[in-house]
Amino acid sequence: MTDEPLHELAHLGPHSLFTPDPVGTVRYFVDLLGMDVVAQDGNATYLRAFGDYEAWSLKVIGSDQAGVAWVSWRVTSPQALSRRVDWLESHGHPGGWVPQDRGIGPYYQVPDPDGHVFRLYYETQRYLAPEGKRPVVPTGFQAYTGRGAGVRRLDHVNLLARDVRGCREFWEAGFGLRTWEIVRLPDGVGEAAAWMSSSIQGHELIYTQERTHAHGRLHHFAYLVDSREEVLRAAEIVADARIRIEAGPSRHTAIQGFYLYTREPGGNRIEIANGGYLVFAPDAEPHIWDAQTWKTKPGWGAPLPPEFHLYGTPDVKERSER
């Protein structure tokens, strides 16, 4: 007999980015990705996408360098939040409470094994569209913005980690995340990447190998559009805006999503994404890629540039592989 699987994380919640160019970063999300500004508070700007049911989903914070400030998960109930906090504190991962932020929270904040900051919460504020932003279909949350790429919501986050396996096992053991794909290192024990989710979605949280001596860095945030054609359209929009396209449009081998990678003006890597498979089988096991097979990258898609595996935020001068 095995323990019942945990299903106490509902979905990725609001997230926050540091940027040394807050004006340029906000313009990128508003004019090119199609998000709306909700509020401004000092050096922080709150934004949302038209498919978000919560009041806001992205907090952009002016800072001296780019990077991820924090990522959050909404849990399924107040009791689930209490249980997850108890697990963290009883297993040597103590955190602390953070006050409510513009209607969402309070949060329990804790680092993952690599030092990325995560927040857990249940209480939230739902978005109530004002006149002029109400969708014609009442089950929607906001009228389609029709601006820029028109991203619907956050799709996933990819974090760089020095110990991918340790981070994966932390989320599996304590939070019941399911892992759909793993890339093994040549030693057959360590891991180069892992794709995880709280749902049938192919990925919400990804860890890939940190190849510098840094820790706690961001690889990218990905925002969802509704079709491959919209990814192609996004490429035209960002190219005309003189925003760097790092990779794509093309198709990933892992999870099989269609992608476009850009660098927003503050330096953070942002993906505009569509697709990726869904996993309906409750007993599905992760696909394990050995290093040799992964290197062949079966399927199709343009090769990713070497910089893709080294660059993250905050940027570091030393980028040689460990």
Domains of the chain with bracketed CATH: 9-131+149-309 (3.10.180.10)
From first to last of the 322 residues of the chain, give the pLDDT tens digit.
457 778 999 999 999 999 999 999 999 999 999 999 999 999 999 999 999 999 999 999 999 999 999 999 999 999 999 999 999 999 999 999 999 999 999 999 999 999 999 999 999 999 999 999 999 999 999 999 889 999 999 999 999 999 999 999 999 999 999 999 999 999 888 999 999 999 999 999 999 999 999 999 999 999 999 999 999 999 999 999 999 999 989 999 999 999 999 999 999 999 999 999 999 999 999 999 999 999 888 888 888 999 999 999 999 975 544 4
Reduced to 3 states (helix: H, G, I; strand: E, B; else coil), residue 5 is coil
Half-sphere exposure (Cβ direction) of 31: Cα atoms closer than 13 Å: 14
User: CB under 8 Å, gap of 24 or more: what pairs does 25-31 form?
Assistant: 25/60, 25/264, 25/265, 25/266, 25/268, 26/60, 27/265, 28/243, 28/264, 28/265, 28/270, 29/58, 29/60, 29/264, 30/147, 30/148, 31/147, 31/148, 31/241
Q: What is the pTM of this model?
A: 0.94
Note the pLDDT of residue 298: 82
Q: Where does the chain show beta strands of DSSP type E?
A: 9-19, 36-41, 44-48, 58-62, 67-75, 96-98, 107-111, 117-121, 153-161, 178-184, 191-197, 205-209, 217-224, 245-251, 257-263, 269-275, 287-289
Structure tokens at 124: 């939230």
- C-alpha distance across the termini of the chain, in Å: 41
Tokens representing residue 182 in the block: 């793993």
